[in-house]
A and B are shown apart, each in its own frame.
Chain A
Amino acid sequence: MPPFAPKAVNGKKRKAIPQEEPLHPKKSKSSPSPPHESIPELEKAISESRKHYNNIVKLQELAFPKNTKAKPSTEAVIALCRVFCRLFASGSFELPKNSGKSEISIVEWLEGRKREYNSCLLAAFSQDGSYMSQAAVIPLAMRLVAAETSAVGESRWRSGLFSQLVRHLIIGGVHSEPARSIFTEEYFTAFDDVRYHTLQILQDILKNDASNNNELLSPVIELLLSLDEPPTEDEDLDSFLSASSKAAKSTLQSVKKQKKMVEQTWLSILGLPLNKKQRKDILRVFVHQIIPWFNRLERLMDFLTDCYDQGGETTLLALAGLFHLMQEKNLDYPSFFEKLYSLLDDGLLHSKHRSRFFRLLDTFMTSTHLPSNLVASFIKRLSRLALYAPPSGVVVVIPWIYNMFKRHPATTFMIHRVSRCAEETEEWETYGAEDPFSMDEQDPMETKAMESSLWELETLQSHYHPNVATLAKIISEQFTKESYNLEDFLDHSYNSLLDVELEKDLKKIPVVEYQIPKTILHGEAGDQNLGALLQQVIAVS
């Protein structure tokens, strides 16, 4: 690893680490490689006088040897980085007024060396077998960026090394994954100016390249998703990488502007055609990580309604964001409940987003002013689904239905209906009561669920799992409890149920069947020949 930690670049941390420190380990290590002058000596000479500028070339030769046999020296790379940083700091890249021709040529020459060095560093991203690991390049590059922008000015963010670095990070795709994660963790989320300028560059990339290249989008989204909630106060924006950023207070130190930048980036992403996974990734953190960055939420409406209309899991995920907009911005989404109703499909209770959905559903159905027909449709459909659901799903549905019954007493006809007249009774006796509920009806107001009964729940009262069966019995007991806290029932699974059963120790010795049957597998008299089946299983596996 490079001897100076990436954090050492940080202006604040710098004081804690003595400047000379990187030199010490070098001396001990440097002995084998250089046949002539040692790297520290070369480096020292450069800083002493302009005469020794040619040492840069020597160091470059050491760092990035032309002939493939020679071993590239990491120390030289680091030393070069330090040299350039010093040169930036001393203003050697700036042309003083009235400078002579020789001066100009020196600066140009230095620029050329620097460019060479930069391209060598960035080469780490372009090819596999580069001399340096990408992880090592990032701190060096960022240190140079800091020095460059501090010395030359703000404009260098967009035109200098930094923009190239970001481009490489994005274009690298899967290949530059580790470097990107380092960049994200240590620079992008940590420094406010880095974030700002990165976003600027990202917008450029999105505008020019990404519209027809979907692969570029994933890294960009990934980068953006790393952003947590925005800072609330302007004063919070105080960690800058470059010294020049402190001067440019107006743009960088305003939360509003920062938010605007993020917002714009998001908008340009959302405007592009996204694939399903990208959508889901975005929707999953939508409410907590994306919405807070937006100054004008209305701009998200199109995206969310599009997602909601897509159906399936995307719809489930878009629900939260949509609801947020409806609450905050009074978004009017026509036939919201129809759409919601259509979400209750076969996979819902098996889905891993089940608890997320039920949390939202509970919120949507809080109102006591909803039409009873609508509520009844939801109840009936969910209980129909529960008939085939795993215990963890049943366990959510039943308390929810109980709460609905409490909120909409009219729907309790579904669990208790007595005949209104003798003819009706007679009809039931002779032909049986028919179920008017239509599972295929899309409109929850038209399903006739109110006239149906919840036979499914009654069947679930004899569920094989004792606790589920007991829970299902609350439907037929007196409704004395005000409501069940749905949150307690949400996060169950087969594993949690099994854990509960198997973790505890045997407290008492279980009952053993009294009779020992004569035959068990062999020659089973029933419908199914267990023995033969077992042999079949053994044969197959």
Chain B
Amino acid sequence: MPRSALTGSRIRDRRIAAGLRQADLARAAGISASYLNLIEHNRRRIGGKLVADLARALGCEVSQLTEGAEAMLLAALREAAEAAGATGAAAETDRAEEFAGRFPGWAALLAERHARVEALSAEVAALSDRLAHDPHLSATLHELLTAVTAIRSASSILSGTEDLDPAWTARFLGIVAVEGERLARGAEALARSLGEGAGGGALAATPQEEVEAFLAARGWHMPALEAPDADASTVEALVGGSGIASAAGRGLAREALLTYLADARRLPLAAFAAAAELPPGELSERFGAPLDAVLRRLATLPGREVGLVVADAAGALVFRRPLPGFPLPRHGAACPLWPLFAALSRPALPVGAVVEMPGPAPRRVRAEAIAMPLGPPSFSGEPVFRATMLLTPAPGAASARPVGPTCRICPREPCRARREPSILGPAGR
């Protein structure tokens, strides 16, 4: 890493903390006090032996003067500049170090504001997606509006009808009471739902989300199922202790863990982890396991930054392990350009591509997918296919196919696969 201008500020801070004068430190490092003054004010870049001498004189490691927070700050500034570039503003990215060195407070503020904008954009996209597609929220709103309408009508009759007889009065008072209760329950459910949404990340509104939250909290790796004697009773114990509230969620968790158990038996942890850097096709051949099992298993190894998506033949995402930089829609359909869906049109054939999500800092990801029939082969009945896609970061890929998360929050234009307008406007606007 080039020696940053910010290194000077750090040298100055440490010198003052150590109670040294500039002249003292300059002498110890074999330089003039005036040169040290320039260094400390980030007007001279230093490196090599000189930074090592200063570190020794200050009693610290070289890395403490040159790495860490400043690298993060510079990365954040460059990211902010790239994002601004998409809107037509042109920041002097080649002078980011000088800017951070001369105006560290402003630089930190800019980086923090950029991070805040990014976080809020993600929250807006998630909430928009939820408001548009979340069936639970939609049902809750329906309940609320129906209760409000009934109360409004009944109270209007009660207050506006002079000759209302006692029987009708009792009936409409009953309606107000019953619908008032319903309104209170609905409002509570809505507040709970939106409160979860505002927190971001830890939402578990549907049974599928409950299962995903359960697995995510354990790093998607279940040591109990890796044990040689693990069996269905192990799965039951895990489901029982999962804390998943709904019966449907526990059922889905059972199904996911039984699949995990079957994959773990076919692809034992130690041997598979040792070979995990091989291409999935080779792993499939070496271990004699179907390719979809290999992709799933790669997503259960500890400490790997991968994502996994499973879709049924209707395109619904039935399992989501997210990968940072590759948003997976919580509700509604995903981008039809994902290799996951190409795999569904070519059952049993591997489909792979490096894809790129839009955004201020577009991320390239290798996506490898295959669609396989559910259950054992059978001559009777139509097969039911399910597609599995493994997502692996591919930052060094030379080229990538543009894809999106889901149309509603995707800015790419034009797009031949678009099915609804985006709330974000075209990329680059």
Decide whether A and B assemble into one complex: no
